[in-house]
Amino acid sequence: MSELSVATAIIEILDFLSPYCDDKSTLEEVRALASNEKYRKNGYAAFCKIRDKTLIADSLGNHLLQRQYALEEVCAKTLFNLSGCKGPPFPFDDDTPFWIIPYAISFASAVGIENPYAMSRLLQT
């Protein structure tokens, strides 16, 4: 899968799930990173911002936001890695993109999407 395909898939997943998100601020930031490759180097800063929100959601026990932010985190990490930045900050683990689909399905299930696996059709080209 090419960089463009990965970025396009991230956009499609975020667009599909966006109507179910109460907090869209960092989701929209991650979507912007996916939309413009020259900003992907900002993925590390976006990840840090999302991580702070994740920790707050964890402390509050807000499972829905935890799932949303987990998805946003792996998308931001993936986009940062696609920027080609060699560090510092250093790239995230190579397996990062493989977590996008499970986290998207987890969030979709949590918001009541009857068939969260339907998102897999978004990735078929």
How far apart are alpha carbons 115 and 103 in whole angstroms?
A: 14
State how many domains the chain has.
1
Domain span including residue 17:
3-123
Neighbours of 110 (CB within 10 A): 16
Residue 4 pLDDT: 63
- CB within 8 Å of 13: residues ≥ 6 apart: 71, 75, 100, 104, 119, 122
Rounded to two decimals, the pTM is: 0.90
For residue 125, what pLDDT is reported?
A: 45
Q: What is the pLDDT of residues 104-121, one digit of tens each?
A: 999 999 999 987 766 655
Q: What Cα–Cα distance (Å) separates residue 46 from each residue in 20, 109, 112?
A: 21, 25, 27
> Which among 61, 56, 60, 54 has a CA at the least distance from the CA of 76?
54
For residues 103 and 7, what is the distance between their CA atoms, to the nearest angstrom?
A: 16
Dihedral, CA of residue 21, residue 25, residue 28 and residue 34, to nearest 10: -120
Q: Under a CB-based contact definition with an 8 Å cutoff, are residues 23 and 67 in contact? A: no
- Segments of the chain scoring below 50 in pLDDT: 125
